[in-house]
């Protein structure tokens, strides 16, 4: 599977370790940066990750920052993306099964490497259930015409 991964400076070490692990597991990994742990702005990397997935260059994405919150918001600005903030394998599996998530976000200050690997494994191995979830997921990419 082709996986894109991006982070900010706070998650640089986690990103590097996950990218190396994913490659050792046989995945093709697009490391979108940053290349060092120097301070950067997470929205820039979240937007880049979203663009790569929306264009079909990568099938799935992993977005990382200190808490996972900021970068997940940035990724979800793209209507083609469904990025779920996860902290354990059950939420990572459910975001695929029920929401057809094409990206996950995690916080490096909150999630250790072993838990991050477990989340990524659940995310990559769980299929979308479809069925009753299909029409709901379709609505996620549409802006509601009448919020009233």
Can you give the pLDDT at residue 148?
44
Q: Which residues are catalytic?
A: 65, 98
Per-block average pLDDT, block size 10, for the chain (148 residues)? 98 98 98 97 98 98 98 97 98 98 98 98 96 91 63
8 A C-beta contact, residue 14 and residue 64: yes
Binding residues: 8-9, 66-70, 99, 109, 132, 136
Q: Whole-model pTM?
A: 0.94
Domains of the chain plus CATH, in order, are 2-140 (3.40.1400.10)
What pLDDT was estimated at residue 141? Answer: 79
Binding site feature residues for D-ribulose 5-phosphate = 8-9, 66-70, 99, 109, 132, 136
pLDDT for residue 84: 98
Number of other CB atoms surrounding residue 39 within 10 Å:
9
The pLDDT value given to residue 140: 86
Class of residue 139 by CB neighbours under 10 A (exposed 0-12, middle 13-18, buried 19+): exposed
pLDDT at 142: 79
């Amino acid at each position: 599977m082709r996986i894109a991964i991006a982070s900010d400076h706070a998650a640089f070490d986690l990103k590097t370790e996950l990218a190396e692990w994913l490659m050792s597991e046989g995945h093709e990994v697009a490391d979108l940066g940053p290349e060092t742990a120097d301070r950067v702005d997470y929205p820039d990397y979240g937007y880049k990750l979203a663009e790569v997935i929306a264009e079909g260059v990568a099938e799935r994405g992993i977005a990382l920052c200190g808490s996972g919150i900021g970068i997940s918001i940035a990724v979800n600005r793209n209507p083609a993306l469904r990025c779920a903030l996860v902290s354990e394998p059950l939420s990572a599996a459910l975001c695929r099964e029920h929401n057809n998530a094409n990206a996950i976000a995690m916080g490096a200050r909150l999630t250790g490497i072993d838990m991050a690997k477990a989340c990524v494994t659940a995310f990559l191995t769980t299929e979308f259930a479809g069925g009753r979830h299909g029409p709901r997921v379709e609505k996620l990419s549409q802006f509601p015409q009448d919020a009233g």
